[in-house]
Structures are given as C-alpha cells and as structure tokens.
Structure 1
Amino acid sequence: MMTFETFGELLVYCIGPYVTLFFFSILTVIITLLTGIFIFQFLPESPFYLLSKQRRSLAENALILLRNDTRDGVKLELEYIQAIIQESEHTQGRIVDLCESKASRRAEITTIGLTIFQHFSGILPIVLYSQDIFNVTGSKIPAEYCTMSFGAIQFLSSFIAPNLVDRLGRRWMLFLSGMGMAVSEFALGLYFYRKDNGMTIDKMFWLPVASLLIFIVSYISGFGPLIWTIMSEMFPIHLKAAAFSVGFCIWWMLAFIVGAIFYPVSNAIGMSGCFWMFASCGFAGTIFIWAYVIETKGKSLQEIQQLLSK
C-alpha cells in the first residue's frame, strides 16, 4: 500500500509543476479509472469474503492464485480461514468491547497514541505543502526539483522499509523513525530561525532539502506503515473491525485538523516555531514508544495479549 501511495505522490511532484490544474485533474481521473479496471479485471476476490459467503471453491481458487501454490498447499490455510470466520460469527466485537480488558485497552491506547504522534509530527503539512516550504527556504535549488527528489526518495524508501522491519522489529523501527523525524525537523526549524532573524544561511542552502529527505525516509521506515501493522497484530479477531473503525476515524479527523491549522500556526509563530513544535511531538512520540509500546514481531496473538496484560 505504501509503495503505491508514494508512487502517486511522486507522480504529482513530477507532473504537477508543468501542467495546468485542469489537465492534471483529467489525468488523475484517467489513472483512477484505469486502476479500477485493473482491480476488477485481474485481482481475485478476498478468500475471507468468499468463504463468508459460502463460496468455498472460489475461495480456494483465489488463495491458489494469491499464494501461487497448489490445492494441497493452500488446504491448511483455507481451513484456518474458515475457523476464523466461524469464530468471528459468534463473537462479533463492538466498539465498547475495546475497553473490556486491560489488554484491549492498552492496545487501543497504543494505536491512538501512535496515530496522534504520527500526525502531530507534521507529515501531512510536509507532504501537502512541500513545494511551498521549499519556496520559502530561499534555497538555491529550484523548489520543483526539491519536491521531485523528495518524492523519489519517499518512493524508494517504501521498498527498503519492509526489510528493515523484519530485521529490527516494529518497536525499534518506530523508535528510530520518530527520532529521525524529530531531529530532521529540529534542524529545519533551526534553518528557518536563522533565516527569519537575518543570520547567514548561504552555506546552509542544502539543509532544508537534506532535513526533509531524512524526515521522509524516517517516516516511511516506521510511522507510516507500522501503525496499521501493529493494530492488526494487537487485537483479537473479534475486535479488529471495531479497532480499525475507531483508528480510521481518529486518523482522518487528525489529518483534517493538522492540515487546516498548519498555515495559521506557521503565520503566528513562524516556520521555525512550527517545525520545532513538530519536532517536540516527535521526541514525545519516541518516549511513548520506549515506555509503552510492546514488540509484536514473531509473537503469537496469545503472547501479545499476555504482554499487553502486564
């Protein structure tokens, strides 16, 4: 998912500066339609959905295609999915059930906390207003080239991050991600502080680009994809739907708030103050991860629930 998302942003950065808004809107509509046609034509239906509708043969064919395996090879997984569906039919969780035990409460606090720190680290304003940010830096590098580099590094990072996560684990990657985001934003805030106060920045023209590139690599390596990974691993089957519903609602609400207040806040306290505020949230996020978030890599659901209950 993160790879396709970053590819779309790279496309915007590369094409957007050179075409009209009308043409670009038409182009994005065409790409969306082609994507929809591809999905309906080539992608198989989810085995979970097909089994829930009692279409076992179609579910088996879909799983064979997805796993590139034989019927005997997917037989065990098919039975496992069937068992999960039968269990969920009898224990469908509600939103209020997220508070039913210490484990589910801690899991919900973890995911909500990570979502808050993700947004208030400034990812949305940086992605949406990257060219505007580069314009006000006064850098000698043209803003459109900076944003293209920004998008390219972001796209390439989406291929590297999964390998690092498998090696280091979720908790360490989140910690390093938050630290990298905070340090890079502190450096960017320092650049704007010197610029706004008339200090010499001629020899620091590279700092805004380097800071934002480090920021986006750090984000893609941890805070970007891992929140949803951890959410899917922490909750039992019957609570996943409720947990994701709450998580997505909070995610979009915070996205709207942070996107709406960026310009008013930056006008009120300056770009330096704004980025230092984001950096402070990033440092606070690393403390939260170190003190509260558990490692879920390689652990069964039962082991995760035991850790959450401690």
Structure 2
Amino acid sequence: MPKVSCNWILYLSTFTANLFFVSYGTMLTWHTPVLLKFRSNNNEINPLGAPLTVFQLSLCTSIYPFASILAGLLVSKMPDIFGRRRSMIYIATAGLLCFIGLAFVRNVWLYCSIYMLTCISVSGGIVVVPTYVSEISETKNRGSFSSAVSIGTTIGQLYLFILAPVTDFKMLSLCCGIPFFTIVVLSFFTYESPVLLSMRGDTDGALRILKKLRRNVESSKLEEELKEKEKMLKVSDKKSALKILFKTSVGRKSFFIALLIRSLPSFSGFFVILSFLDDFLREPTNISVSSNTLSIFLICFKVLSASLISIFLDRFGRRMYLLLGCIVYSSSTFCMGVYFLCKNNNMYIPETVKLVPIILLFLVSLGYMVSFAGVSYTVVSEILPNEARAVGSGLVACISNFILSLIAISYPYIDKYLGVQYCLFMFSFPVIIGFVLILIYVPETKGKSFEQIRCLLNKH
C-alpha cells in the first residue's frame, strides 16, 4: 500500500465508494435515452431490430427495481462475510463485465437478462457503500460524506445525458462501465472499515487504519473513538442481526424509521419520472429548446442542489431537509397532476401556462434532492444498529425496491389507459403521509455518535 497523506486516504476512500452512485445515477435515467432508441424503427439506432411493445416497455422499466430486490437478498451479507472493501471490488468487477455484455446485445430478451445482472451489480454496490462511508468517516463529517451520494447520482445522470446524443447504444454501454472500472482500480489504494475489523476482534488493525484515516488526531482520541465503537458492538455481540432488528426495542424502531425513509423515494415515483423524462420535457410546444438540452439543464440543477445540500447537511440537520423536501415534492407533483388533468379533459390552457410542467419538474427534482437523494441514505446508515447495519440496509432496500417495481410495472399501463395525471396524484399522496410520519417518529441525528443515537432511540 503506497503512503498517502492521511487526509487524502479518507477522501479517496469516500470518493471511490461513492462512484457506485455515479452508476446508480445512470441506471435511474438509463431508460430516458435508451427507450427512445428502442422505440425507433431505424435499425441503425435501435440495436434490437424492432420497436418495443407496451408489454416489453413495462418489462424493461420494471427490471431495475426487481433486480434491486435480488441484490438486497444476495448482497446484504457480503459486507460482513468478505468485508466492505473486497465486496465493492467484486461487485464493481461484475458490473463492468455486464456493461461490456450490454454493448453487444441484439435481442430484447438477451438485453433484459444482461440488464438485470447489471442492475443487480449497481444495486448491490449502493447497499454496501452507505455502511462503508459511515464507518470510515468521523461524527462531524459523516453527514457531508454520506450525502455526497446525491452528487454522485446526479453526475451519473448528467454523464448519461451528455453521452446519449453523440453515441450509439454500443458505445453508450461501454462508456457507462467506466465508473466500475475506476472503482476496481482505486479500491487497491483504500482501506477496510475499522468497524468491521473491530467486529472481527482485530483491535490493533482497526486502530492502525483509524490513524491512516484521521489527520492530526491524537492517539488517545483515536483509541477513545475505537472504544466507543467496540462498546456498541459488545451490546449485542451474542445476537444475530435479525434478532437485533426485530427482537430489540432499538432495532425495531430503527428498522421502522429506515424503512419509512427509504420507501418514500419508491412511493414518490421519481424513478419512473426519470425513465420517461423525455415525455414530460416535450410537453411545452412553444419553446425551441430541445428536450435533451432541457434534460442537461435539469441534471445540472440537481448537481448544484446536491452539492449545496452536502455542504450544509451537517449544519442544519437531517430532519429539516426530510420535511422540507417532502413538502416541495408532494406539492409539485400534485400541481403537475392538476395541469395534466386539465389538459387531458380538453380545458383551455394559455401558452404561457404550458411552461408550468417544466418549472414544476425542476421543483420535483429539488424536492427529491433535498429529502430523498442523499439525506435518506445518511439517516439510514446512522439510525440502524451498527452490528445489523448491513443486513438492515439490505432488507430495507429489498422492500423499497419491491414497492418501486410495482409502480414501475403499472406506470406505462396507467399512463396509456387512464392518463398521466393519476400517476402524479399517486406519487403525491404517499409523500404527504410520509411527511406526517417523519414529523412524529424520526429524531434528529446530526452531530451524534452511533451510541448517542442508540440512546436517543431508547428514549424516543
């Protein structure tokens, strides 16, 4: 292992892990450019040879959430068995091979098969990353490091929208595998989680890595930090992860909060909005800007929002962002639903009002970035008991992605036979309910150690 400035080792480790969210971002918006190619009658554009049917469209849209369910089941134990760092290397290698395979598909069913394996790799990575990042970071910067996932996600979306107009499907797939290749290379310059080493009884190794991850920190403080982590582990060292989650008061409370916060993004329907983003951006007929240019503007706006949230998250707290984002998101999707309700009922809509869907789409993105994109991952990584965090994150991801898969399957049919306005109303109301539940049940975790959060849940 080469000698690197301790501060840069922490940044490099965080950066490497969060590259998974660049690939996650490409998967969130993958269908926007790809389905346009797959719906084309031009064989030079469409590698599958024929446009997709409604059933195939629904199938392709729902693959990612279904694959995420499998990833939650397959990957949840990997971080504890192989280690956080090694698990990321294995998953990134598999993802890279899958993207290479996607580049050469010429059949819709082969595409679905390889695409599912790709999605399993991407989803598996984002199960491991929040745990790893929260364990290597300090209490004072844990929120900023964890919320950086939203920056990686939006950069991945921007990366895809910039590439899509200038590449064919083959080159697009190969370029989307670059983040996985980078993870594999950079992972050899990072370190394992000191918390995992403590769980395995390697106290000396954990302390040695902590010294490399911290800069200008006294040995006594490092030992105190490690003792705090070890104390937390000893509380339930004889219990399995599932027993901790479901047979202890703190476990049940933390699992409920984690499930609430991570299921709201699924109920919000933002994944399918991004999958059919081009349909929303083509709505105004009185502007000359192309939908792809508008997409790039929208993603740049999300990158800016994510960066600001990451900077100020440890200043204003997690709970405020969750509540504010729910208000912005639910009100914006509801207003979009009203607009499309008026349009589909042939009501008169002035030309200036036709710009409203674009403005509301920016507000929808802002609400999602504020509440769900980065903050939710931060809270889940903080709120779950340390000794059950990997399994708990996997279970939460499995349930939330099952919800998302149902929404992804139903969206094309509801849109075609009832109207997009009912989809938007369906996205708005669960977020309103989520706002109330967050207000009642979710405590503030800003600036608190894992042990303090455990004590807070006991009292909450």
Distance 1:94 1:61 in 2: 27
> Is it true that 1:21 corresponds to 2:178 in the alignment?
no
* 1:255-266 equivalence runs, <5 A: 255-266=404-415
Deviation at 1:146, TM superposition (A): 1.4
Q: Classify the secondary structure of the residue corresponding to 1:182.
A: helix
Distance 1:162 1:38 in 2: 23
Deviation at 1:82, TM superposition (A): 4.4
- Which residue of 2 is the match for residue 211 of structure 1? 360
Change in 2 beyond 3 A, CA 1:307/1:126? farther
Deviation at 1:10, TM superposition (A): 1.1
Distance 1:139 1:165 in 2: 39
Residues 116, 254 of structure 1: 8 Å contact kept: yes
- Which residue of 1 is the match for residue 276 of structure 2? 129
- Which residue of 2 is the match for residue 38 of structure 1? 186
**Ranges of 4+ aligned residues in structure 1 off by more than 6 Å:** none
Pick the aligned partner of 2:428 from 279, 295, 308.
Answer: 279
Structure 1 residues 55-75: Cα deviation after superposition (integer angstroms, max 9, x where no partner): 556544432332233562634
Distance 1:61 1:129 in 2: 49
Alignment: residue pair count: 306
- Which residue of 1 is the match for residue 459 of structure 2? 307
Residues 137, 192 of structure 1: 8 Å contact kept: no
Deviation at 1:221, TM superposition (A): 1.4
Distance 2:243 2:204 in 1: 36
Distance 1:82 1:97 in 2: 16
Comparing 271-280 and 284-293, the one that deviates more: 284-293
- Which residue of 1 is the match for residue 209 of structure 2? 62
Amino acid of the structure 2 residue aligned with 1:28: C
Gaps (5+ residues) in structure 1?
none
* 1:81-230 equivalence runs, <5 A: 81-85=229-233, 87=234, 90-138=237-285, 140=287, 141-198=289-346, 199-230=348-379
- TM-score of the superposed pair, with normalisation by structure 1: 0.86
Deviation at 1:125, TM superposition (A): 1.0
Q: Classify the secondary structure of the residue corresponding to 1:90.
A: coil
Q: CA RMSD in A?
A: 2.6
Residues 262, 397 of structure 2: 8 Å contact kept: no
Distance 2:456 2:418 in 1: 43
Distance 2:255 2:231 in 1: 25
Residues 294, 307 of structure 1: 8 Å contact kept: no
Distance 2:253 2:226 in 1: 31
Amino acid of the structure 1 residue aligned with 2:376: I
Residues 60, 71 of structure 1: 8 Å contact kept: no
Structure 1 residues 208-237: Cα deviation after superposition (integer angstroms, max 9, x where no partner): 221111111221112222333323333333
Distance 2:258 2:158 in 1: 28
Q: Classify the secondary structure of the residue corresponding to 2:209.
A: helix
Deviation at 1:243, TM superposition (A): 2.1
Amino acid of the structure 1 residue aligned with 2:457: Q
Residues 112, 247 of structure 1: 8 Å contact kept: yes
Gaps (5+ residues) in structure 2?
1-148
Deviation at 1:187, TM superposition (A): 2.1
Amino acid of the structure 2 residue aligned with 1:268: Y
Residues 245, 252 of structure 2: 8 Å contact kept: yes
Deviation at 1:148, TM superposition (A): 0.6
